[in-house]
Amino acid sequence: MQLFLRLSLIFLLFVSVAGCYRMRSSNGGAEGTNLTTNRPLNPSDIELPAGYTAEVVASELTFPTDVAFDEAGQVYAIEAGYSYGEEFLEPKLIRVAPGGNKTIVATGELNGPWTGITYHNGNFYVAEGGQKTGGKILKITPEGTISSLVENLPSLGDHHTNGPTIGPDGKLYFGIGTATNSGVVGPDNYNMGWLKRNPDFHDIPCQDITITRQNFTSTHPETKQPMTTGAYQPYGTAVKDGQVIPGAIPCSGAVLRMGADGGTMELVAWGFRNPFGLAFAPNGSLYVTDNGYDERGSRSVWGVGDYLWQVQQGQWYGWPDFAGGLAFNGDRFQTPSKEAPKPILTQHPAKPPHPAATLGVHSSSNGLDFSTSASFGHTGEAFVAQFGDMAPNVGKVMAPVGFKVVRVNVGNGVVTDFAVNKGTKNAPASMLKKGGLERPVAVKFSPDGTALYIVDFGVMHVEDGKTTPQKNTGVIWKVTRTTH
Amino acid sequence: MKTLLYSLLICLFLIACGTAKRGEPAYAPVADSEPAIAQGQVVFNTYCTKCHPGGEAGLAPSFNDKPLPGFLMRFQVRHGLGVMPAFKEEVISDDELDHLIAYIKTLKKAKDDKAAPAS
């Protein structure tokens, strides 16, 4: 009996210690990343299910974000040309020959990041993030001639113009992320860099909304003056109760579509935060990965996962007042020691649906694609690249989150690891001092569906609020099934 | 008192050295063919995995590698602990909680070697 009591005491003590979130310091992958210019690569450091094998297709890329394939199955990659950490470079479209030799096909302007690419009817389509002059959808010929299908998309802030992908209707679908974490411009946006360049930029709703009188006071990082700011306003502009914010197209946190050669933009759905990955399932349904709120800024939100949504035409998905279909109506999403977020909109356009899947808090679940090949396996499941946490900038975590590729049964929301670094703990390769995955940002199946390409952005470190991405550390991996 | 101290040290040692990884890709898939386990897996993925990805640490601590008996897990789910919210019957029904605990017990044991694929 005495032993039982002692063991119970141990259990309770253990549970208390393990559960004491407030007492622990953050221990994420970004802060644990080791900066290196000479990244070792070893496919055998990546754990895969039995029967699968990985290889390196290309290395020494700078901030790669996506791949595409032409009719012949030739691999092309894009380098973003911008990274968090305010690193501006020229974005590039690169042909990757078998064996890994790289040839530059096209070079863009200092307005990255190029976040995604697709190939359709003989041309490439690229989403240009728009950090300097606004987002664009570019058309690039195989000879490298670049033209804009649309410009001035409102993606000068925290998140960018994303996608694109071609739907079964032949239209081009793309995403636009929000300017801010949760609707209110503040010093966190100054730290990101964009608020210095674009002091008047803010979020734009897709249709007219009426908001409550919630104003947030922060200290301007340079002038040290108090700044009172309301939602959907420039930094330092307050709102009144019942103020109507006019909607517009294009807007923030939305998925839009247009013809493959341009034309009028149509709203597909809105109320996302950062709809990064867009892909159509084999049954024709559109799915989108959405990066959840961070624990930062004037209106901090805690404990929010990333989400995979099945997109319904015209639906509102909840930003800035819901997370994963749950309303901000109590202390459920309260950052410890801060005020719980309260609803901003007086009336919500709809009750958001439940997500198709819930992914790790701060996992930065980004690019996705669907398996269509029985030969590769897991037909109809979504594969999602998890870039990995940016802790502590996005909030505190107890261990690295993400840094791997997962597969999702979109029928029941079950998430299973597919490619993850070997070792007792999950972490980016540089933290483990191994040669495996660092920051998977996109996944794409080859046209025949038999190979999964993983785009690995490379090394990125976060410390004391400073983000440091490492050039020439990006990699493209290829996973194939060798035995059944 | 010595027993208590040693037990605590052994506990901490095991926690520090063990891996919380379970199931694919490091091990054989989690045995989810039983309907109750499969239902518990869905509950787990709906409410738990965002903070405890696959039972590993993330926003919150891992539990795959912790010797938590079912009644403590059940208590923690219903009442919360620290910053972990409570999940009441309106959110996770009693049946779903039974399935969830059954799944977590199965997940914690999913450390079988991967089957060698047929060549």
pLDDT score, position A36:
85
Q: Cα–Cα distance between A206 and A250 in angstroms, integer?
A: 7
- Residue B5: pLDDT over 60: no
All residues at 6 or more sequence positions from B114 whose CB lies less than 8 Å from its CB, including other chains: A49, A50, B24, B25, B26, B27, B28
ipTM: 0.94
Q: Do A51 and B117 touch (CB under 8 A)?
A: yes
Does the distance separating the beta carbons of B25 and A48 come in below 8 Å? Answer: yes
**Residues A385 and A442 sit within 8 Å (Cβ to Cβ):** yes
Whether B101 shows a pLDDT value over 90: the answer reads yes
Taking CB atoms and an 8 Å limit, are A14 and B11 in contact across chains?
yes
Compute the mean pLDDT over every residue in chain B, rounded to the nearest whole number.
Answer: 88
The whole domain housing B101 covers 2-108
Mean of per-residue pLDDT scores for chain A: 95
Distance in Å, alpha carbon of B89 to nearest chain A alpha carbon: 16
Q: A198-236, pLDDT tens digit by residue?
A: 999 999 999 999 999 999 999 999 999 999 999 999 999
A419 touches chain B (CB under 8 A): yes
pLDDT band at A258 (very low <50, low <70, confident <90, very high): very high
Which residues from B are below 8 Å from A412, CB to CB? 42, 45
The per-residue pLDDT for A483 is 86
- Is A245 a residue whose pLDDT tops 90? yes
**Is B118 part of any domain?**
no
**Is residue A177 a contact partner of residue A220, using CB atoms and an 8 Å limit?**
no
pLDDT attached to residue A113: 98
Answer left, alpha or beta for residue A167, where phi above 0 means left and psi between -120 and 50 means alpha. beta
Over residues B30-35, the mean pLDDT reads 95
CA proximity to B45, closest of A360, A44, A77: A360
Cross-chain residue pair A47–B68, CB shorter than 8 Å = no
Q: Are strands A451-456 and A243-245 parallel, antiparallel or unpaired?
A: unpaired
- pLDDT value, residue A9: 55
Query: Which residues, 6 or more positions from A88, have their beta carbon under 8 angstroms from its beta carbon?
Result: A81, A82, A110, A112, A131, A132
| Those residues with Cβ within 8 angstroms of residue A42's Cβ, 6 or more apart along the chain or in another chain | A434, A435, A436
Asked if residues B11 and A14 have their Cβ atoms less than 8 Å apart, the reply is: yes
- Whether A352 shows a pLDDT value over 70: the answer reads yes
Nearest CB to A358 within list B11, B41, B45: B45
Nearest-Å Rg of the Cα atoms of chain A is: 22
pLDDT above 70 coverage of chain B, percent? 82
| pLDDT exceeds 80 at position A330 | yes
Within an 8 Å CB–CB cutoff, is residue B76 touching chain A? yes
Let me know: does A468 contact A92? Beta carbons within 8 Å.
no
pLDDT on residue B119: 42
Domains, chain A, in order of start with CATH, read 24-184+258-294+302-324+354-481 (2.120.10.30)
pLDDT at B118 over 50: no
Contact of B70 with chain A, judged by CB distance below 8 Å, is answered with no
Residue among B21, B41, B51 whose CB faces A361 most closely:
B51
- What angle is formed at CA A84 by the lines to CA A111 and CA A152, rounded to 5 degrees? 30
Query: B119: distance to nearest CA of chain A, Å?
Result: 5
Q: Is residue B116 part of a domain?
A: no
Chain-chain contact of A399 with B18 (C-beta, under 8 angstroms): no
- CATH number, domain with residue B104: 1.10.760.10
What is the identity of the amino acid at B65? D
C-beta atoms of B7 and A416 within 8 A: no
Chain A residue with the nearest C-alpha to that of B8: A10
Contact (CB<8Å) B59/A360? yes
| CB nearest A362 (choices: B42, B59, B116) | B59
Q: What count of CB pairs under 8 Å joins A to B?
A: 141
**What are the backbone dihedrals phi and psi of residue A431, each rounded to the nearest 5 degrees, phi first?**
-70, -35
- Write down the pLDDT at residue A24: 80
pLDDT interval class at B11 (50, 70, 90): low
Tokens 């104003």 belong to residue: A215
Query: How far is the C-alpha of A473 from the C-alpha of A58, rounded, in Å?
Result: 10
**Predicted local confidence at residue A2, as pLDDT:** 63
The number of distinct structural domains making up chain B is 1
pLDDT confidence of residue A47: 98
Asked if B118's CB is within 8 angstroms of A484's CB, the reply is: yes
Show the tokens assigned to A193: 């860099």
Nearest Cα to Cα of residue A154 among A266, A254, A250: A250
A426 and B CB contact within 8 Å: yes
- B78's enclosing H/E stretch is helix B70-79
Cα-Cα end-to-end distance for chain A: 52
**pLDDT category of residue B10 using cuts at 50, 70 and 90:** low
Give the model confidence (pLDDT) of A426-465 as tens digits: 999 999 999 999 999 999 999 999 999 999 999 999 998 8
pLDDT at A97 over 50: yes
**What is the signed CA dihedral for A150, A153, A155, A159, rounded to 10 degrees?**
-60
Q: Give the mean pLDDT of A297-322.
A: 98
Task: Fill in the amino acid letter for A290.
Answer: D
